Structure 1
Amino acid sequence: MKRFAARLFEAFITLWLLATLCFVLLRAAPGGPFDTEKAAPPEVQAALAAQYRLDRPLPAQYVAWLGDVARGDLGPSFQYPDYTVNRLVATALPVSALNGGVALLLALALGIPVGVWAARRAGRWSDRLLMFGAGLGLAVPKFVAAPLLVLLFAVTLHWLPAGGWGGTPLESLRNMVLPVIALALPNIAYCARLTRASMLETLSADYLRAARARGLSEARLLFAHALRPGLLPVAAWLSPALINVVTGSAVVEQVFGIPGMGRYFVQGALNRDYTLVLGVVLVVGAVIVLINLLVDALRGWMDPRLQDAT
């Protein structure tokens, strides 16, 4: 219980530092949310600044914003005056969570079997071929992979739509395919390589050699004795994998025109929409902290020695 309370306190401090740093950097950036090529009359600028509390000193703006956040109010959007940040986040978060969650599940569903298969056939041509493909998947960044997928499957083959979101269930499913693949590709490659390296070490452990000498079948050795400890590094990798999915969603959602958190973050940063950017950062940061807590719990279940160590 004490450890859980300490982790919650650390999570709170992390989110506070993240929000404070983002607040300071946004205000330090040149330009403002209402700067246009044709400047508005001074009285209009003064009214907008007063409406959004931009006429106050910076410390007063920070304290007022923190007070709103403590009440669960992320504030009004500067560039979407008819919407609050809460409403924009509420519509965008499920979209990003669906794409990112499916991409991460796809990475695990493909990466783990590929890594286990390669470890069982270490040194053979199939192992080399699979690891070459994994290395290629890691080498191609998302901003290159996403347009290439559009060019191949949408423009050339006309199998899938080039972008968009929503529609009928079938249309929604078709719209998801390319973004999910673009998000999942590097994670599939990394998961496969990580699983292979871990399984090679586990399969050569002394206790497995002893079990093999007692006549246990290879299938029982793999599934009953090797798989669980061999996947511990994969469980630890889930946290950075989630961060990779979150950061990659900004590129993927822009390319495919998906109304998710990443796209709102990019548009908010370009338009100096302070409250929108801060709201996205806070929500994404909270999700990452929560996932880290869940991953720690999963690792403790997979290896009780980690619980004893703490």
Structure 2
Amino acid sequence: MLKPLAARLLEALLTLWLLATLCFVLLRAAPGGPFDAEKAAPPEVEAALAAQYRLDRPLPAQYALWLGDVVRGDLGPSFQYPDYTVNQLVGQALPVSALNGGLALLLALALGVPLGVLAALRRGRALDRVLMFGAGLGLAVPKFVAAPLLVLLFAVTLKWLPAGGWGEWRHVVLPVIALALPNLAWCARLTRASMLETLSADYLRAARARGLSETRLLFAHALRPGLLPVVAWLAPALINVVTGSAVVEQVFGIPGMGRYFVQGALNRDYTLVLGVVLVVGALIVLIGALVDALRAALDPRLREAR
């Protein structure tokens, strides 16, 4: 038991180290710097800033110092937000992104699973075609198109919800819908395909021949194995939410992780970008482990394979 856990922990730490190292190298290889401006600062000011943020040292020394700070839990100072550390910025932004992303995933599951099951039960009928057409449309429309369309409809035309900002429950509705739409579509299509395969299994035919009702077949025998692919999909769904948050938070002006990542990349705020990458990477690794544990709880064959 302890040996697989230690191996999984070592694999997670190695993944995060490689991710952070690659991001560090790519950021430093990009043209420009964190203190570049249209009007160059006096040389003594540039030298003082470089010394303050340890940019005057060789690149390997900068990497070693930064990695040592990270091991101690210090993500460093922000270059573009001098009154804040990266720890403070991430601490403010993470709950915002977690709320939006969590609600978006819950909405996708709460609607996608029932719609997928309903489409599977009505296979080939008009309702099935309508639901799958809607799911295909949800996959075809990217977030950077869906988000402005939601603003145009519900904020500008109908004036039901605010177009941006943060602080009230009304500010959460449109960003959550924009984040949830593609995941909802994926969830519905995946659930339908999995349920169709499960409902045609031999053991369900035998149970049906014994006179079990369709409702009991569905809830007692088909739903649990039919949802295994949906559980496995949760990890890539989380990645989809994380990558989509950068677009959605920019459109709606939400102070979340995605927005800080975009602003940090544009301003060459090395420590801020690296801090966001590390935190998001750690969350993805953690969610992947939780999804694996949930799959093992639902499927005894996975527990026996360990």
TM-score under structure 2 length normalisation? 0.99
How far apart, in 2, do the equivalents of 1:36 and 1:120 lie? 61
The match for 2:227 is 231
CA offset digits 1:100-157 (Å, max 9, x no partner): 0000000000000000000000000100000000000000000000000000000001
How far apart, in 1, do the equivalents of 2:249 and 2:47 lie? 35
How far apart, in 2, do the equivalents of 1:232 and 1:257 lie? 36
Unaligned segments of structure 2, at least 5 residues = none
- Which secondary structure state, in structure 2, belongs to the residue aligned with residue 77 of structure 1? coil
Deviant stretches of 4+, over 6 Å? none
How far apart, in 1, do the equivalents of 2:135 and 2:113 lie? 12
How far apart, in 2, do the equivalents of 1:2 and 1:298 lie? 20
TM-score under structure 1 length normalisation? 0.98
Deviation at 1:33, TM superposition (A): 0.1
- Which secondary structure state, in structure 2, belongs to the residue aligned with residue 220 of structure 1? helix
- Which secondary structure state, in structure 2, belongs to the residue aligned with residue 80 of structure 1? coil
What letter matches 1:124 in structure 2?
A: R
Deviation at 1:304, TM superposition (A): 1.2
Q: How does 1:197-208 map to 2 (within 5 A)?
A: 197-208=193-204
How far apart, in 1, do the equivalents of 2:207 and 2:3 lie? 39
Does 2:298 correspond to 1:297?
no
Q: 2:245 aligns with which of 238, 246, 249?
A: 249
Q: How does 1:154-173 map to 2 (within 5 A)?
A: 154-166=155-167, 172-173=168-169
The match for 1:30 is 31
How far apart, in 1, do the equivalents of 2:59 and 2:225 lie? 51
Root-mean-square deviation (CA), in Å? Answer: 0.4
Does 2:54 correspond to 1:53?
yes
The match for 2:217 is 221
The match for 1:169 is none
Does 2:189 correspond to 1:193?
yes
Deviation at 1:308, TM superposition (A): 1.5
Deviation at 1:256, TM superposition (A): 0.1
What letter matches 1:99 in structure 2?
A: N
Deviation at 1:250, TM superposition (A): 0.1
The match for 2:135 is 134
The match for 2:208 is 212
CA offset digits 1:14-47 (Å, max 9, x no partner): 0000000000000000000000000000000000
How far apart, in 1, do the equivalents of 2:275 and 2:194 lie? 38
Unaligned segments of structure 1, at least 5 residues = 167-171
